[in-house]
A and B are shown apart, each in its own frame.
Chain A
């Protein structure tokens, strides 16, 4: 919904706006949908002028059609595949995380979802030298664990620090701050985050379900709407900025909303030697 305002386009002045309001035309949609000839008579303005206003407003607010050939061309030149650092996971994902796509990671508690997220973050920042945005909603991100993983890669402290510098973390614990964060990232925050090092190639949200599942259910449909909003902003961000989004959920509850490629991790027998690596799992 876009409310008509003065100066939105040439010819839309205060007087005309008042007349339009009187004729119950308050938004761009109202104006575009109404019969221009009738409206011109009601507001006593020239038909041609009003038609020109309609055309300009329509061009300003519509989604522009793109030819499939151009889209394909753009895709070929801009898509990158980020390796997750784990050969078998890469194989599973057709060689890695695709930029412009959302990859959903789900699984039961203690199955290693967060560890996969950490591993991907470390791999992208250290091996690929690109920035990562890590949104932590559970408080499960431990810098110590990231460092531990980096120490396994290199013993050079400077390199370790540089890699940690490239992981930008956000800690937030409710869906409104998550939306706020994603919107600000979309409107310029991503470029800002990439000033320090390589450009941001991945956004990791760990986890979405932690903030959304409390709102679902019951007779209120606000939770559904918020979930769709989160999915929407992630999808547009992935497409427009060509970042790969890795989203962690506990159940495949967002499947429909995200339209994501899904991987679920299963941990059939957590034995002694791996249990230590799960100590940060919430």
Chain B
């Protein structure tokens, strides 16, 4: 392949490291380094968080269900906002590519999170509505969105993104929501042979591996808990193909806090707090150098979802470093 001088420099020039993308999430000094892959797992659901009740028909009531089962999408938006926000507003000011395979990117929600972050950050300095709007636009212009509707299109798109990666040195983060979107389609298309079923995702993972090596971006990918695992209690992306699992260096597992626990905590709080859902996210990092199972760090923290996005309630207790077995 030919490479222009500009592309060479873009490739070699240091990209922004995302180790400090969210200190609450990862073990101390264990954030995702250049070229590392973080997998976000959790049970299914979207970013809705209000549980309202209102009489609708004559005699029946309707709930807007709290479909946010794990807070995974909200967490993704949080990370996305952190990356595209300007440094003045506590962001990292890097470019982000969002690969939307679920057609789930809720732009209105994203904008409302960005808006609230910007207004809290810029309220100290005197700013008008116009400058805030301009700041929002500049944040959004750091985001590239790609919609993919099949796994072969995902593969081709990743090939195509190589040019964006090589020409934009400020691009530091690739988000894939979600990597498991085509799992069932591929399984059905592949017929009886498992190799055939996994062929496309393996190819994507291999290509992604090469892109990570060459361009040293960081990848966050969400993964649906498609299978309610009968063996293990924790849902994870372990049903996806081996090449993908080999890429993953950090695993974030989102879940909703037990209602019972939640109640106990809320009994002390106000009525307002009782409405808040509390989510727990557990991070497991394995060192990228050695093979699968040597544990490097573990951390769990909890957050709740507000109008302005994810708010961390503090890192709960266990922040210990386990040594490998």
Interface residues of A (CB under 8 A from B): 1-2, 27-29, 32-33, 36, 58-59, 61-69, 71-72, 75, 79, 86, 88-89, 91-93, 98, 106-107, 111-112, 115-116, 221-222, 224-229, 232, 235-236, 239, 252, 255-256, 259-271, 273-274, 277
Interface centre among B57, B61, B226 (most CB of A within 10 A): B57
Which positions 87-123 of chain B face chain A at CB distance < 8 Å? Answer: 97-98, 102-104, 107-108, 110-111
In whole Å, how far is A258's beta carbon from the nearest beta carbon of chain B?
A: 9
Task: Compute how far the CA of A268 lies from the CA of B283 in the bound complex, rounded to whole angstroms.
Answer: 42
Contact status B146-A63, CB under 8 Å: yes
Which positions 48-103 of chain B face chain A at CB distance < 8 Å? Answer: 48, 52, 54-65, 67, 69, 84, 97-98, 102-103
Contact status A268-B61, CB under 8 Å: yes
Contact status B56-A92, CB under 8 Å: yes
A263 and B62 in contact, given A68-B143, A232-B103 (Cβ under 8 angstroms): yes
In whole Å, how far is A39's beta carbon from the nearest beta carbon of chain B?
A: 13
Which chain A residues lie closer than 8 Å to B156 at the CB level? 28-29, 32, 58, 61-63
Interface centre among B64, B103, B140 (most CB of A within 10 A): B103
Contact status B153-A61, CB under 8 Å: yes
In whole Å, how far is A70's beta carbon from the nearest beta carbon of chain B?
A: 8
Of A66, A273, A274, which contacts B60 at CB under 8 A? Answer: A274
Contact status A65-B145, CB under 8 Å: yes
A252 and B65 in contact, given A63-B148, A239-B103 (Cβ under 8 angstroms): yes
Interface centre among A1, A61, A259 (most CB of B within 10 A): A259
Which chain B residues lie closer than 8 Å to A86 at the CB level? 56-57
Task: Compute how far the CA of A29 lies from the CA of B159 in the bound complex, rounded to whole angstroms.
Answer: 10
Of A221, A228, A256, A264, which contacts B63 at CB under 8 A? Answer: A264
Q: List 8 A-B contacts (CB under 8 A).
A: A58-B159, A72-B107, A75-B107, A75-B108, A116-B57, A221-B184, A259-B102, A261-B64
Contact status B107-A66, CB under 8 Å: no
A273 and B62 in contact, given A65-B146, A69-B140, A75-B107 (Cβ under 8 angstroms): no
Task: Compute how far the CA of A89 lies from the CA of B64 in the bound complex, rounded to whole angstroms.
Answer: 9
Which chain B residues lie closer than 8 Å to A232 at the CB level? 103, 149
Q: B265 in the interface, Cβ–Cβ < 8 Å?
A: no
Contact status B161-A259, CB under 8 Å: no
Contact status B108-A89, CB under 8 Å: no
In whole Å, how far is A41's beta carbon from the nearest beta carbon of chain B?
A: 15
Of B48, B84, B160, B224, which contacts A256 at CB under 8 A? Answer: B224
Task: Compute how far the CA of A48 lies from the CA of B248 in the bound complex, rounded to whole angstroms.
Answer: 36
A66 and B58 in contact, given A92-B64, A255-B67, A256-B45 (Cβ under 8 angstroms): no
Number of interface residues of B (CB under 8 A): 63
Q: B157 in the interface, Cβ–Cβ < 8 Å?
A: yes
In whole Å, how far is A271's beta carbon from the nearest beta carbon of chain B?
A: 6
A228 and B185 in contact, given A256-B224, A274-B57 (Cβ under 8 angstroms): yes
Task: Compute how far the CA of A226 lies from the CA of B67 in the bound complex, rounded to whole angstroms.
Answer: 22
Of B57, B140, B161, B184, which contacts A67 at CB under 8 A? Answer: B140
Of chain A, the residue at the smallest CB distance from B80 is A68
Task: Compute how far the CA of A186 lies from the CA of B111 in the bound complex, rounded to whole angstroms.
Answer: 28
Which chain B residues lie closer than 8 Å to A91 at the CB level? 54
Which chain B residues lie closer than 8 Å to A72 at the CB level? 107, 111, 137, 140
Interface centre among B142, B157, B200 (most CB of A within 10 A): B157
Contact status A71-B145, CB under 8 Å: yes
Task: Compute how far the CA of A255 lies from the CA of B161 in the bound complex, rounded to whole angstroms.
Answer: 30
Of chain A, the residue at the smallest CB distance from B43 is A256
Which positions 115-164 of chain B face chain A at CB distance < 8 Å? Answer: 137, 139-149, 152-153, 155-157, 159-161, 164
Contact status A256-B187, CB under 8 Å: no
Of A65, A106, A256, A260, which contacts B97 at CB under 8 A? Answer: A65
Contact status A263-B64, CB under 8 Å: yes
Contact status B65-A263, CB under 8 Å: yes
Task: Compute how far the CA of A75 lies from the CA of B112 in the bound complex, rounded to whole angstroms.
Answer: 13
Task: Compute how far the CA of A273 lies from the CA of B60 in the bound complex, rounded to whole angstroms.
Answer: 12
Task: Compute how far the CA of A27 lies from the CA of B146 in the bound complex, rounded to whole angstroms.
Answer: 22
Which chain A residues lie closer than 8 Å to B189 at the CB level? 1, 225
